[in-house]
């Protein structure tokens, strides 16, 4: 089952366009393919950084520190404060 695709439109400055066009001619790849590859690489890098930041989030240091009575979450008043 293939994933759905979305069409986007963006403006880039002429210098960047000319560099992409040059790469396209040198590699024989269409601009569309070059842009898709570049976006995928960028997203992979950002995703790795995001996962690393989430992994190092201080919130994980407190997980498992609290104590509850057995079956506490089944109590109707669980989590209520006075």
pLDDT, tens digit, 9 for 90 and up, residues 38-48: 999 999 999 99
pLDDT at 72 exceeding the cut of 70: no
Residue spans of the domains in the chain: they are 32-60
DSSP conformational letter for 48 = H
User: Taking the model in full, what pTM does it have?
Assistant: 0.61
Of 22 and 68, which is predicted with more confidence? 22
**Nearest Cα to Cα of residue 57 among 67, 68, 69, 49:** 49
User: Using CA atoms, how far apart are residues 66 and 81, in angstroms rounded to an integer?
Assistant: 16
């Amino acid at each position: 089952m293939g994933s759905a695709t979305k069409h986007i439109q963006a403006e880039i400055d002429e210098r960047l366009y000319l560099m992409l066009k040059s790469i396209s001619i040198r590699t024989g790849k269409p601009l569309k393919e070059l842009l898709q590859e570049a976006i995928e690489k960028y997203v992979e890098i950002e995703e790795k950084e995001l996962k690393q930041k989430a992994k190092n989030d201080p919130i994980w240091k407190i997980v498992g520190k609290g104590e509850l009575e057995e079956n506490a979450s089944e109590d109707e008043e669980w989590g209520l404060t006075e």
